[in-house]
Amino acid sequence: MIRLATPGDAGALRAHAMELFRTSEHGVVQPDEAAPLERFREKLEAGEHAKGWAIFVAVPTDDPSVIVGDVGLYPESKRKIAHNATLGIGLVPAWQGVGLGRTLMEITIGWARTHAALRRIELQVFATNGRAIALYESLGFVREGLHPARVIEPDGRAIDEIRMGLDVSG
């Protein structure tokens, strides 16, 4: 089941984020840099969905206490650029490769299209993340820029990031 997150999801959402930080090769946050539970709760309690800020969560029907995927949409706060929302998505390894990423993205893009204040979705993706790039391009995202060596892994490897965008004003 996919639904908007509520304040009661704070603990499960943080546990989900921690699993992603531990397992994904394509994220910038390391486990010891995770925001505290209180920050997750505050964000969800702010009730900002009406302003174009959204977090969708995917929970298995047989265990709704666990979050297996999430997608967040975060509009800029300054008025001149508030029509741009940054998107982030993550699925736990057991739920990757079964179409959940596409479903979450389609729901989020559809939601953004109903919010007149939002005109663009933006995201940054590691150039090495072929699966994510393929998913985004198949949904209409276009490559808008390249940040050379934006990421330096703990082992010293430099990784480029690709900036992508999608028009949701139509």
Ligand X SMILES: CC(C)(COP(=O)(O)OP(=O)(O)OC[C@H]1O[C@@H](n2cnc3c(N)ncnc32)[C@H](O)[C@@H]1OP(=O)(O)O)[C@@H](O)C(=O)NCCC(=O)NCCS
Task: Taking each helix axis as running N to C, give the angle between helix 100-113 and helix 130-138, from 0 to 180 degrees, rounded to the nearest 10.
Answer: 40
Residues between 97 and 136 that touch ligand X (CB under 6 A): 97, 99-102, 125, 129-132, 134-135
Structure tokens that stand for 79 in this block: 């008025």
138 counts as binding ligand X under rule CB under 6 A: yes
Q: Please, are residues 44 and 74 in contact by the beta-carbon 8 Å criterion?
A: no
CB of 101 to ligand X, least distance (A): 2
154 counts as binding ligand X under rule CB under 6 A: no
CB of 2 to ligand X, least distance (A): 12
SS3 call for 80: helix
Backbone angles phi, psi at 115, to 5 degrees: -105, 105
Residue 159's DSSP bridge partners are 151
- Contact pattern from residue 13 through residue 32 relative to ligand X, giving x for each residue in contact according to CB under 6 A and a dash for the rest: -------x---x-x------
CB of 47 to ligand X, least distance (A): 26
Of 102 and 147, nearer to ligand X (C-beta) is 102
CB of 45 to ligand X, least distance (A): 26
Residues between 34 and 93 that touch ligand X (CB under 6 A): 89-91
Q: Which residues contact 57 (CB under 8 A, 6 or more apart)?
A: 2, 3, 4, 5, 9, 12, 13, 16, 67, 69, 70
Q: What residues make contact with ligand X under the rule CB under 6 A?
A: 20, 24, 26, 89-91, 96-97, 99-102, 125, 129-132, 134-135, 138
